[in-house]
Protein backbone atom coordinates (compact mmCIF):
# COMPACT_ATOMS: atom_id res chain seq x y z
CA UNK A 1 0.00 0.00 0.00
CA UNK A 2 2.83 2.39 0.80
CA UNK A 3 4.33 1.82 -2.64
CA UNK A 4 1.23 3.38 -4.19
CA UNK A 5 1.78 6.72 -2.44
CA UNK A 6 5.55 6.66 -1.91
CA UNK A 7 6.15 9.51 -4.33
CA UNK A 8 3.83 11.86 -2.40
CA UNK A 9 4.65 10.68 1.14
CA UNK A 10 7.98 12.41 1.66
CA UNK A 11 9.91 13.72 4.63
CA UNK A 12 8.71 17.18 3.65
CA UNK A 13 5.02 16.32 3.24
CA UNK A 14 4.92 13.93 6.22
CA UNK A 15 7.56 15.00 8.76
CA UNK A 16 5.93 12.77 11.38
CA UNK A 17 4.27 9.38 11.19
CA UNK A 18 0.71 10.10 12.19
CA UNK A 19 -2.86 8.99 11.79
CA UNK A 20 -4.53 12.37 11.72
CA UNK A 21 -4.12 15.15 14.25
CA UNK A 22 -4.83 12.95 17.28
CA UNK A 23 -2.39 10.10 16.70
CA UNK A 24 1.35 10.29 16.29
CA UNK A 25 3.27 7.05 15.95
CA UNK A 26 6.76 7.04 17.43
CA UNK A 27 9.39 4.50 16.41
CA UNK A 28 11.08 2.22 18.93
CA UNK A 29 12.86 -1.00 18.08
CA UNK A 30 14.99 -1.65 21.15
CA UNK A 31 18.19 -1.53 19.08
CA UNK A 32 18.85 1.67 17.12
CA UNK A 33 15.87 3.45 18.67
CA UNK A 34 15.78 2.48 22.33
CA UNK A 35 13.31 5.23 23.24
CA UNK A 36 10.15 6.18 21.34
CA UNK A 37 11.37 8.58 18.65
CA UNK A 38 9.55 10.98 16.32
CA UNK A 39 10.56 10.31 12.71
CA UNK A 40 9.19 11.13 9.27
CA UNK A 41 6.50 8.82 7.89
CA UNK A 42 8.61 7.39 5.02
CA UNK A 43 11.45 6.62 7.44
CA UNK A 44 9.01 4.95 9.83
CA UNK A 45 7.66 2.77 7.03
CA UNK A 46 11.11 1.75 5.82
CA UNK A 47 12.25 0.93 9.36
CA UNK A 48 9.04 -1.02 9.86
CA UNK A 49 9.53 -3.14 6.74
CA UNK A 50 13.11 -3.94 7.80
CA UNK A 51 11.95 -4.71 11.36
CA UNK A 52 9.23 -7.06 10.11
CA UNK A 53 11.60 -8.78 7.69
CA UNK A 54 14.02 -9.52 10.53
CA UNK A 55 11.24 -11.15 12.53
CA UNK A 56 9.82 -13.14 9.64
CA UNK A 57 13.26 -14.49 8.77
CA UNK A 58 14.04 -15.37 12.40
CA UNK A 59 13.76 -19.17 12.75
CA UNK A 60 13.14 -18.74 16.49
CA UNK A 61 9.97 -16.75 15.78
CA UNK A 62 8.77 -18.31 12.51
CA UNK A 63 10.26 -21.82 12.43
CA UNK A 64 10.30 -23.47 9.03
CA UNK A 65 10.55 -26.98 10.41
CA UNK A 66 7.41 -28.68 11.70
CA UNK A 67 9.28 -30.23 14.64
CA UNK A 68 10.27 -26.83 16.06
CA UNK A 69 7.56 -25.19 18.18
CA UNK A 70 6.54 -21.57 17.84
CA UNK A 71 7.69 -19.36 20.72
CA UNK A 72 5.36 -18.83 23.67
CA UNK A 73 5.00 -15.15 22.78
CA UNK A 74 4.22 -15.82 19.11
CA UNK A 75 0.76 -14.23 19.27
CA UNK A 76 2.18 -11.15 20.96
CA UNK A 77 4.87 -10.83 18.27
CA UNK A 78 2.28 -11.17 15.49
CA UNK A 79 0.02 -8.66 17.19
CA UNK A 80 2.87 -6.13 17.33
CA UNK A 81 3.65 -6.66 13.64
CA UNK A 82 0.00 -6.23 12.62
CA UNK A 83 -0.49 -3.20 14.88
CA UNK A 84 2.43 -1.43 13.23
CA UNK A 85 1.24 -2.40 9.74
CA UNK A 86 -2.19 -1.01 10.57
CA UNK A 87 -0.53 2.33 11.36
CA UNK A 88 0.73 2.44 7.77
CA UNK A 89 -2.81 1.83 6.52
CA UNK A 90 -4.17 4.58 8.77
CA UNK A 91 -1.50 7.06 7.68
CA UNK A 92 -2.05 6.37 3.99
CA UNK A 93 -5.83 6.45 4.29
CA UNK A 94 -5.98 9.69 6.29
CA UNK A 95 -3.13 11.68 4.76
CA UNK A 96 -3.07 10.39 1.18
CA UNK A 97 -6.66 9.44 0.39
CA UNK A 98 -6.78 12.02 -2.40
CA UNK A 99 -3.87 10.27 -4.10
CA UNK A 100 -5.66 6.92 -3.80
CA UNK A 101 -8.67 8.50 -5.53
CA UNK A 102 -6.47 10.02 -8.26
CA UNK A 103 -4.99 6.66 -9.21
CA UNK A 104 -8.22 4.70 -8.79
CA UNK A 105 -6.97 2.61 -5.88
CA UNK A 106 -9.79 3.32 -3.42
CA UNK A 107 -11.65 0.10 -4.26
CA UNK A 108 -8.58 -1.93 -3.34
CA UNK A 109 -8.35 -0.21 0.04
Known binding site for Zn(2+): residues? Answer: 9, 14, 91, 96
Distance CA 65, CA 108 (A): 34
CB 37 within 8 A of CB 26: yes
The annotation places the binding site at 9, 14, 91, 96
CB 4 within 8 A of CB 95: no
Amino acid sequence: MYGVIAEVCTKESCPTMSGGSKYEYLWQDGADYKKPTRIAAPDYMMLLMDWIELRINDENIFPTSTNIPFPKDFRQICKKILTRLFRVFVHVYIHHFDRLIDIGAVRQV
